Structure 1
Amino acid sequence: MNPKATLKGRGAQLNVPNRFFELSHEIRDDFLEFCHKEGEASDKNKTLYLPVFPKTIVNKVESPDVGMLYSMNAYQGCEHGCIYCYARNSHEYWGYSAGLDFERRILVKKDAPKLLENLLKKKSWKAYPIVMSGNTDCYQPAEKEFEITRQCLEVFLKYKHPVSIITKNALILRDLDLLKALTADGLISVNVSITSLSEETRRVLEPRTATTKRRLETVKILSNNNIPVDVMLAPIIPSINSHEILPLAKAVSEHGALSIAHTIVRLNGAIGQIFTDWINKTMPDKADKVLHQIESCHGGTLNDSRYKTRMRGEGKIAEQINNLVKLARHKYFKDKAMPKLNCDLHESFKDGQLKLF
């Protein structure tokens, strides 16, 4: 791999134009030359935390192939900087770029715990698992400062409501006390994303995430505390991590994971341009090969929005990947399964304490 990428600790290496804006701006060579002569940085590469105040926090998921009905996101944008992240496009709705802005302009919803509690107290609300991080990681670096995710878990525990978490950050272990309390009533499941066993690959794909070693340790610690863990081998990218499916599955099974899930990478909207720019800078020797193989999984294009097909792909390469995952499940997860979350307790705890009558 070639460390030609110019912005250290970032996935995207540019800000692509926002499709909703008529105007856009670009950094010209003469400006870069001026900065060079003056000894100034053309880009300070700083992360900003920006408060926002939504009226609701839980979203109903309409997509039929996502595997969740309700999700919530304490943060919009994600400092982890995963280059392939499907959530990048959503940042455009907030008026930012799907590129560097997604990693450096983090929108913080401090009212999330209160909004969640208001929802769970409603008489009309019927318990159903809510997924934290349906869009962006609830344990990204911002959580160290704001602790919004922890406050939300306290609300779920208070009202005995089922919740599922998706993360690739070992910071989740900070809240082990709450996770254990939720587990006692069957109210929690955790999905840890692990994309590669190679630190070199992890570093360029997901620059500000926990190391692979730390994530495997997280799976083990959670599992040792009887907290059900699924590992998401997602996304599988041809010729980057597709050869790791079996060793990845073996490793996570040995660390206590009860199941695995996967998707094949798709580069919708602005992500295609961001990923293409990135791979030409970081892996120039294999860029064309990887891009063409991704296209071969999606009908000849990087952009695939077809329900049912978009997650699993089509064609020979996609078929090989999907068959390897089937083999991995049979080989390493034959007698394992994730438990169903408990939706029966919440009604008796509608006001935050057990109703006796």
Structure 2
Amino acid sequence: MNSNSFLKGRGAQQNTNNKFSAYSYETRDDFLEFCRLEGETADANKTQYIPIFPKTIVNKVTSPDVGMSYSMNMYQGCEHGCIYCYARNAHEFWGYSAGLDFERKILVKHDAPKLLEEKLKSKRWKACTIVLSGNTDCYQPAEQEFQLTRKCLEVFLKYRHPVGIITKNALILRDLDILKELNVHGLIGINISVTSLSEETRRILEPRTTTIKKRLEAIRVLSEAGIPVNAMLAPIIPGINSHEILSLAKAVTENGALSMAFTIVRLNGALGEIFTDWIKKTLPDKADKVLHQIQECHGGTLNDSRFGVRSRGEGKIATQIHDMVSLAKHLYFKDKKFPKLNTKLHEPFKDGQMKLF
């Protein structure tokens, strides 16, 4: 890997063109030379927080194979910079690139708690688990400054409404007090993403995420508090972390996880170009092997968009991964079960307090 050409602290190494834009952008050599001669930085590599004001915050999930009915995202874009993240493509709808823009231009929905409260108070709304966040991580670095996730959890508690969380950040432990209160009423389920036990792998795949040690600690602390935790071993990337399935399953169950789930990586939309560029710069010796194995799982391409198949894969390599996951579940999760969340408490709390009559 050429350290001079590699952008440290980021996953994507380029801004791919936005498919919805009539314009394309490139960094020309003559511009880079001008910056060098002038002693200027061509790319400051800084994160920007950009406020946006949507009219609604809760989204109905229509994809039949996602495993959730409703989701909400306080932030669009994610500074974690996970190179494989399917949410990158959504940044194009906002007029940005799925590449570096996704990691550096973070859109902040300051009205999220207010919009959530309006939704939960609606007479037409029937309690159904809402997941934070179906798209970008609700505990990414922006949360330290804006605390929108914590404020939304307070709303869920106030209205006794079930909520799920997907994260790979140990910042979740900051909100342990609220999570415990939600759990008293059976209103909370946590999904912690653990993709590798190797810090080197974690660092290149997910450059601004919590360390693996802290993620396992988060699973342990939450589990010891009686809060149900599911471990997301996702995505499984052939040739990068596929050999770790058993060791990952063993580690998360030893720390208290009640269940595990997985997906096989798929590189839809702009991800194919972003991932290919990244792996050729980061892991040039194994780049072709990894790309070919991913293609083997998706009928010769880097992506399969068919519902029910796209995240499971097909072919010999996918079958091997499925067999390993089945063995892991048999060995480490045979007598464990993730509970269903309570949807029966919300109706009496529509106005924020228990109705007596």
Q: Note the residue ranges of structure 2 that are not aligned, 5 or more in a row.
A: none
- Output the CA distance in 1 between the equivalents of 2:168 and 2:26: 33
- Please name the residue that 2:52 is paired with: 52
Q: How does 1:164-313 map to 2 (within 5 A)?
A: 164-313=164-313
- Please name the residue that 1:19 is paired with: 19
User: Residue 235 of structure 2 aligns to a residue in which SS?
Assistant: strand
Report the alpha carbon displacement of residue 315 of structure 1 after superposing the two structures with TM. Answer: 0.2
Residues 3 and 228 of structure 1: CA distance in aligned 2, closer, same or farther (over 3 Å) = farther
- Output the CA distance in 2 between the equivalents of 1:138 and 1:90: 16
- Output the CA distance in 2 between the equivalents of 1:233 and 1:94: 29
Deviating beyond 3 angstroms after TM superposition, the runs of 4 or more aligned structure 1 residues are: 1-5
CA deviation vs aligned residue, 1:21-59 (integer Å, no higher than 9, x gap)? 111110001111222222221100000000000000000
Query: Residue type of the partner of 1:246?
Result: L
- Output the CA distance in 2 between the equivalents of 1:176 and 1:3: 40
Q: Which moved more, 1:36-45 or 1:223-232?
A: 36-45
Two-structure CA RMSD over aligned residues (Å): 0.9
Report the alpha carbon displacement of residue 265 of structure 1 after superposing the two structures with TM. Answer: 0.2
CA deviation vs aligned residue, 1:170-195 (integer Å, no higher than 9, x gap)? 00000000000000000000000000
- Please name the residue that 1:138 is paired with: 138
Q: Note the residue ranges of structure 1 that are not aligned, 5 or more in a row.
A: none
- Please name the residue that 2:316 is paired with: 316
8 Å contact from structure 1 (residues 186, 341) kept in 2: yes
Report the alpha carbon displacement of residue 344 of structure 1 after superposing the two structures with TM. Answer: 0.3
8 Å contact from structure 1 (residues 168, 192) kept in 2: yes
- Output the CA distance in 2 between the equivalents of 1:355 and 1:186: 19
User: Residue 150 of structure 1 aligns to a residue in which SS?
Assistant: helix
% same residue: 74
Q: Which moved more, 1:28-37 or 1:202-211?
A: 28-37
Question: TM-score normalized by structure 1?
Answer: 0.99
- Output the CA distance in 2 between the equivalents of 1:235 and 1:4: 29
Report the alpha carbon displacement of residue 95 of structure 1 after superposing the two structures with TM. Answer: 0.3
Report the alpha carbon displacement of residue 4 of structure 1 after superposing the two structures with TM. Answer: 6.5
User: Residue 186 of structure 1 aligns to a residue in which SS?
Assistant: coil
- Output the CA distance in 1 between the equivalents of 2:248 and 2:191: 15
User: Residue 278 of structure 1 aligns to a residue in which SS?
Assistant: helix
Q: Which moved more, 1:157-166 or 1:28-37?
A: 28-37
8 Å contact from structure 1 (residues 4, 282) kept in 2: no
CA deviation vs aligned residue, 1:301-322 (integer Å, no higher than 9, x gap)? 0121011110100000000001
- Please name the residue that 1:121 is paired with: 121
User: Residue 294 of structure 1 aligns to a residue in which SS?
Assistant: helix
- Output the CA distance in 1 between the equivalents of 2:313 and 2:46: 36
Report the alpha carbon displacement of residue 3 of structure 1 after superposing the two structures with TM. Answer: 5.3
- Output the CA distance in 2 between the equivalents of 1:114 and 1:187: 20
Query: Residue type of the partner of 2:156?
Result: F
- Output the CA distance in 2 between the equivalents of 1:140 and 1:170: 10
User: Residue 65 of structure 1 aligns to a residue in which SS?
Assistant: coil
- Please name the residue that 1:38 is paired with: 38
Query: Residue type of the partner of 2:281?
Result: K
Query: Residue type of the partner of 2:268?
Result: N
Query: Residue type of the partner of 1:294?
Result: I
User: Residue 192 of structure 2 aligns to a residue in which SS?
Assistant: strand
Give the number of equivalent residue pairs.
Answer: 357
Q: How does 1:103-122 map to 2 (within 5 A)?
A: 103-122=103-122
- Output the CA distance in 2 between the equivalents of 1:12 and 1:97: 11
- Output the CA distance in 1 between the equivalents of 2:2 and 2:193: 25
- Please name the residue that 2:347 is paired with: 347
Q: Which moved more, 1:102-111 or 1:32-41?
A: 32-41
User: Residue 59 of structure 2 aligns to a residue in which SS?
Assistant: strand
- Output the CA distance in 2 between the equivalents of 1:2 and 1:133: 35
Query: Residue type of the partner of 1:72?
Result: M
CA deviation vs aligned residue, 1:205-236 (integer Å, no higher than 9, x gap)? 00000000000000000000000000000000
Residues 4 and 69 of structure 1: CA distance in aligned 2, closer, same or farther (over 3 Å) = farther
- Output the CA distance in 2 between the equivalents of 1:5 and 1:228: 43
